[in-house]
């Protein structure tokens, strides 16, 4: 009987912990940049670069980057909501890109680089809408936020060479040096309490 109770308590503890794991999907320009930021956030696991929000099944990077599929470059990940809340994820999302430029981040232009929150639950939807309204009301940016808030659709994992891109290419890729590294340095200063 004692063994049975130990097993039952262990199973209940495991199930309670598993219920804290949620998923999120954000688009904020080039997925290499977004992936590099969110991989460093405590409570986040399984960060994948990919495509969402388009009309073409199984899109390739070439098709998406041509702007013909309607997909955005996104990151999709899991997070432990006991460690980091969705509100905190939204804060990081909105502070690590410019949400006022329609279909553009820096030199990257096209609908594939749009700012978007792809929500997986009604709670995520409501939190994103409320957060966006709060930011607009605060007048943090000179222009209104154009971030799209829409239901998550089919997620397509990007080609393997896009995964862990910054970690694997920072030494030899100029985009990493000139775009991603400065973004990461700023992120680390502002969100040092949220780093792994």
Give the domain ranges of the chain: 20-194
85 close to 44: Cβ distance less than 8 angstroms: no
pTM of the model: 0.89
Active site residue 30: yes
- Pick the catalytic residue from 20, 30, 33, 176: 30
Write the CA distances from 130 to 24, 91, 94, 97, 118, integer angstroms: 17, 12, 13, 19, 15
In sequence order, which residues have a C-beta less than 8 Å from that of residue 54 and are 6 or more positions away?
64, 69, 70, 71, 72
Question: What's the CATH number for 20-194?
Answer: 3.30.1060.10
Write the CA distances from 165 to 29, 71, 173, 176, 180, integer angstroms: 14, 20, 10, 9, 10
Tens place of pLDDT per residue across the chain (196 aa):
555 544 444 555 555 555 699 999 999 999 999 999 999 999 999 999 999 999 999 999 999 999 999 999 999 999 999 999 999 999 999 999 999 999 999 889 999 999 999 999 999 999 999 999 999 999 989 999 999 999 999 999 999 999 999 999 999 999 999 999 999 999 999 999 999 9
């Amino acid at each position: 009987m004692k063994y049975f109770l130990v097993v039952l308590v262990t199973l209940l503890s495991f199930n309670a912990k598993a219920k804290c794991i949620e998923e999120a999907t954000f688009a904020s320009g080039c997925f290499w940049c977004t992936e590099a930021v969110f991989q460093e956030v405590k409570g986040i696991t399984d960060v994948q670069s990919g495509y969402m929000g388009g009309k073409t099944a199984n899109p390739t990077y070439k098709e998406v980057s041509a702007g013909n599929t309607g997909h955005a470059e996104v990151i999709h990940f899991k997070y432990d909501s006991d460690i980091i809340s969705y509100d905190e994820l939204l804060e990081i999302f909105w502070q690590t890109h410019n949400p006022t430029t329609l279909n553009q981040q820096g030199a990257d232009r096209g609908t594939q680089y749009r700012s978007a929150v792809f929500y997986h639950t009604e709670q995520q939807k409501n939190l994103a809408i409320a957060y966006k309204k709060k930011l607009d009301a605060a007048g943090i940016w000179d222009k209104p936020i154009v971030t799209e808030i829409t239901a998550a659709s089919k997620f397509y994992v990007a080609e393997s060479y896009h995964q862990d891109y910054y970690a694997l290419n920072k030494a030899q890729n100029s985009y990493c040096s000139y775009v991603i590294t400065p973004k990461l340095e700023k992120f680390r200063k502002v969100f040092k309490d949220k780093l792994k």
